[in-house]
Amino acid sequence: AQSVTQLGSHVSVSEGALVLLRCNYSSSVPPYLFWYVQYPNQGLQLLLKYTSAATLVKGINGFEAEFKKSETSFHLTKPSAHMSDAAEYFCAGGYSGGGADGLTFGKGTHLIIQP
């Protein structure tokens, strides 16, 4: 069974600093991977998606993630944090096995931006 692990339930960075949110997956089959962002009382918004076309994936709002098969990782980064980036971030994995492709989510990382 596939699992997704996000290291750190809370990450705090200063405005303008590098953002790094960690995600590791376990799967015998290379999955497709996502990062979603959730603002308070809202649904999940897709940041970016990895589907094996390229290992470095660029998303919205200046975020990007790199798929590293050797490390089974898909960490999310942004060079310079902005106050509006404060939110909950979820890494999720899935693969189309016989049509069932419901996503497996990590527990989430709450990103705090210090002024």
Partner 1 sequence: EAGVAQSPRYKIIEKRQSVAFWCNPISGHATLYWYQQILGQGPKLLIQFQNNGVVDDSQLPKDRFSAERLKGVDSTLKIQPAKLEDSAVYLCASSLDIAETQYFGPGTRLLVL
Cα–Cα distance for residue pair 58/77, rounded to 1 Å: 10
Cα–Cα distance for residue pair 15/31, rounded to 1 Å: 33
CB closer to partner 1 out of 17 and 49: 49
- Binding string, residues 32-71; x marks residues near partner 1 by CB under 8 A: x-x-x----xxxxxx--x----------------------
Question: Which of helix, strand or coil describes residue 83?
Answer: helix
The closest of 15, 37, 31, 42 to 96, measured between CA atoms, is: 31
Minimum distance of partner 1 from residue 79's CB (angstroms): 25
Nearest-10 Cα torsion for 57, 75, 62, 80: -150
- Number of residues interacting with partner 1: please give it, by CB under 8 A: 24
Minimum distance of partner 1 from residue 17's CB (angstroms): 25
> Is 107 a binder of partner 1 (CB under 8 A)?
yes
Residues of this chain that bind partner 1 (CB under 8 A) = 4, 32, 34, 36, 41-46, 49, 90, 92, 96, 99-108
